[in-house]
Amino acid sequence: MIPKVFREVIDLGDGREISIETGKLAKQAHGSVVVQSGKCMLLCTVVSNYQQSDVDFLPLTVDYREKFAASGRYPGGFFKREARPSDGEVLTMRLVDRVLRPLFPKDYHAETQVMVQLMSHDDDVMPDAMAGLAASAAIQLSDIPFETPISEARVGRVNGQFIINPTRAQLLESDIDMMIGASADSVMMVEGEMDEISEEEMVEAIKFAHDAIKIQCAAQVKLAEAFGKKETREYTAEREDEELAKKVSALTYDKVYAVARAASAKHERSAAFDAIKEEVKATFTEEELADYGGMVSKYFYKAEKKAVRDLTLNEGLRLDGRKTTDIRPIWCEVDYLPSTHGSSIFSRGETQALATVTLGTSREANQIDMPSFEGEERFYLHYNFPPFSTGEARPLRGTSRREVGHGNLAQRALKGMVPVDCPYTVRVVSEVLESNGSSSMATVCAGTMALMDAGVQIKKPVSGIAMGLISDAETGKYAVLSDILGDEDHLGDMDFKVTGTADGITACQMDIKVKGLSYEILVNALKQAQAGRLHILGKLTETIAAPNADVKAHAPKMITRVIPNEFIGALIGPGGKVIQELQKATKTTIVINEDPITEEGIVEILGTGQEGIDAVLAKIDSLMFKPVVGNSYKVKVIKMLDFGAVVEYMDAPGNETLLHVSELAWERTENVSDVVNMGDVFEVKYFGVDPKTRKEKVSRKALLDKPEGYVARPPRENNDRGGRDNRGRDNRGRDNRRDDRRPRENRKDD
């Protein structure tokens, strides 16, 4: 018997719907829902242990996976099972995690796992836009402590009209692709890419998405009420001691304030804070520290946070001595690495990124193979964050989710500036060598310069800046911080990164940690970010003003040629023999793709030497060479035969034809060598395909004057040798032949 199902439907306003249902699947999970739009179905479950973990943070895991069966496909490769998550899945996990995590109680430390799975795919529905809704709805149906329902929505804009959760086809026409996460009251997360839009347009898009999210949050509340809202579980909360908090604050606040005001460097400042913390601990006995040493550390952090924030709100000063709008000192350099195709260094304060560019053919494109999307990227960026960049020693465990996310943000910032007709596959790699605040924005700046150094003709240079916010709800004071430090990121109320050209925003990533942030403050922050971006952009263009006119001498040059479909096979040759020998002889890389619409061949020729590229182009021209009837062409004798000479067109090496002995000269020619010899160069006239021989006909004599008194030999008549009708029939017709085969008694003449 199918169990009772509870269901709520969300109207997207344009004929599309999203449904949330529970009660049928995964009932042993603490909360489970199926979210559906069209044929797209997501199953989300949440489970949280009832025992608190022995850690001082929330061990939350958000996992998003797409099952290949959902789109009727097999996983690629030899191992036919879904394994490690793709970058696309990791990015969706991060989007959901960033909105959920702040809404759990600060002292809730139970192991919690949210799992979202794509179970059925619809080509017209992008599932990542519904993952946040599914996660929040599952939590609402559980007894897990959670502040308020949230949801996420993607917003696009086509022909000036905003669209909620656009299809992938609509996104191709959209100038905005933003994901917004919010509760009914507050926007909490923004991430996306844009086509050089203004700050006001970005805020309009956020508002539009927030209106849709409010409806989705209300649907979750209704579903939970219909299902039967569970009582929130009880858990062992962290110990609190107001007297201890006051004592720690009294011992540390002024000292921390003084260190913060001293404008010291990162490691010097950290050492000073640690020394103050040790002084505080020294005022307690070993027994007291054993009993509540963890609380001392917690209250010290609170005092530190308040002192640093008060310094900024009261005096407008920051940890490194800057004012709120100041940008740290910047220096840049290009062409630092001699062997790369392009390179640059971007240093801003204590953050440094070294970027490289590598140019290749379509064969080097990044292949994307997900159940919800198949395709390739001809421009992609990888971001590496080694432990030494923060002065740490820790093991490397592969690419982290953070590295995937920061690299994706920088890629989205730059990709719109790479021309569509760029012939290369372009890979940018950012190595973060120092980090104290926004290495992802340093990556954008370094990537821009490396692309220009490599000779990639980007439309405009792009810069990026990380902004922060410190606010006080009681007094109404707030301060927007330009180019934040790592400490300001941790201690602040908002971290948002904005990238763009001189004409508009190309990408953003925003995490808002306070409730009810006004749109007025958001617009002011974006305007201040614009001023910072333009300042940084000026530093970049001082170093390299425009892309280099050409790629470096040691970098590969790329030439693209389009050839008719019928010539592809000739260029490849039997078993690839022709193309392989050509690549070896010319020291080039040749890639042939077929245009899916025109079915023409797109030939990519990559090589460091122009001579090799020219040789390949000459070979292609030779294969495609078609002489025109009536035109004359210079040829060279490459082979002597008894009945003529094989000649090669000088304009198309390798393209040859037979010059028959009868077309050598007007006089009768007994021996071919009497007229021409190997290596002779002369002109011939092209007559097209001879209808009798069905072979191409060229003539040397047609371009020569006829000898004086020359008399053309009359053409042969059909009956010179009896004609086809008389041949073999003079003595015996077909009837007689039949009579010969009959028995004598049956013959007609008997």
For the stretch 8-51, pLDDT in tens is: 999 998 889 999 999 999 999 999 999 999 999 999 999 999 99
Which positions make up the binding site for Mg(2+)? 489, 495
| Residue 323 DSSP code | B
- What pTM was computed for the model? 0.84
Find out whether 497 and 467 touch, Cβ atoms under 8 Å.
yes
Which positions make up the binding site? 489, 495
Among the listed residues 562, 358, 378, 573, the one whose alpha carbon sits nearest the alpha carbon of residue 450:
358
pLDDT at 714: 66
pLDDT at 715: 61
Enumerate the H helices of 141-198 as residue ranges: 168-173
Helices 266-282 and 242-261: crossing angle, nearest 10°? Answer: 150
Which residues of the chain have a pLDDT value below 70?
Answer: 713-750
pLDDT at 618: 87
pLDDT at 310: 92
pLDDT at 716: 55
Among the listed residues 220, 190, 216, 221, the one whose alpha carbon sits nearest the alpha carbon of residue 205:
190
| Residue 333 DSSP code | E
Enumerate the H helices of 468-509 as residue ranges: 486-491
Among the listed residues 260, 428, 433, 457, the one whose alpha carbon sits nearest the alpha carbon of residue 356:
428
What Rg value do the Cα atoms of the chain yield, rounded?
38
pLDDT at 723: 46
Rounded Cα distance, 575 and 125, in Å: 42
pLDDT at 690: 85
Q: Name all domains of the chain by residue range, CATH numbers in brackets.
A: 6-227 (3.30.230.70), 242-315 (1.10.10), 330-392+399-543 (3.30.230.70), 557-624 (3.30.1370.10), 631-703 (2.40.50.140)
